[in-house]
Amino acid sequence: MIGKHFFSETDIKSAWEQVLTAFWLRYPNPYSTHVLTEDVLFREVTPDNRLLSRRLLTKTNRLPRWAERVFPGNLSRSVYIIEDSVVDLGNRSLTSLTWNVNHAKFMLVVERCVFMGEQDRPVWTRITREAWVSSGVFGLSRPIQEFGLARFRSNQVKAMRGLEHALSNLQKASATCHGDSAEKHKNLNSTSKTQKPQQYI
């Protein structure tokens, strides 16, 4: 399929488990004002302990002025996007595939992301992002694809910032919890002196 292809690879300094937890928490964030709704449609843990999920997102349909003139009907509806993902604990990966299910003839953007945790570098997660942008509009596919790729690049930056925002919130929240539980541990220790020593099998 002729179209535009995008590929990027980044390492971020966060443990894979945190990145995965943040993956579900990234909306809303200050960079995602174009994301209007988010819903989980489906979830399943497979017998081999992989987690399958499907989410539905609606996003605003922001087109450049020239496209608005050519495709006036397009303005009416938001873009509906499906995000399917597989979490595989065994090989420490989360793979997500995202694509729009409407406005697809105008432009179809398919994005695949892989979040990979590496055994020998536990505080780093590698993020591989790949996208394919294509248009089925006769005679205008090239400018539409160019626009699509440019918008994808800009969205990609927002997506990373959004993920980092969610990660930072998670880290702040867990710091608070650890503070609380440290207090609880202190109290427990002081009362346990009068109790029998616990036996751990």
Contacts of 99 (CB under 8 A, 6+ apart): 81, 82, 108, 109, 110, 111
Q: Which residue's CB is nearer to other proteins, number 110 or number 160?
A: 110
Q: Which is nearer to other proteins, 38 or 64 (CB)?
A: 38
Q: Is the dihedral of CA 29, 32, 34, 35 positive or negative?
A: negative
Binding site residues, other proteins, CB under 8 A: 1, 5, 17, 20-21, 24-25, 27-28, 35-41, 43, 45, 49, 51-52, 54, 56, 58, 80, 82, 84, 86-87, 89, 97, 99, 101-102, 110, 112, 130, 132
Shorter beta-carbon distance to other proteins: residue 45 or 75: 45
Q: How far is the CB of 131 from other proteins (least distance, A)?
A: 10
Q: Judged by CB, which is closer to other proteins: 17, or 68?
A: 17
Shortest Cβ distance from residue 39 to other proteins (Å)? 5
Beta strand 121-134 with 93-100 is unpaired
Shortest approach of other proteins to residue 43 CB, angstroms?
Answer: 7
Q: DSSP assignment, residue 194? A: T
Q: CB of residue 86 vs other proteins: minimum separation in angstroms?
A: 8
CB closer to other proteins, 64 vs 128: 128
Q: How far apart are CA 48 and CA 30, in angstroms?
A: 37
Contacts of 180 (CB under 8 A, 6+ apart): none
What is the C-alpha separation between 103 and 84, in angstroms, rounded?
Answer: 19
Closest approach, Cβ 196 to other proteins, in A, equals: 29
> What is the C-alpha radius of gyration for the chain, rounded to an integer number of angstroms?
22
Coil/strand/helix, residue 150:
helix
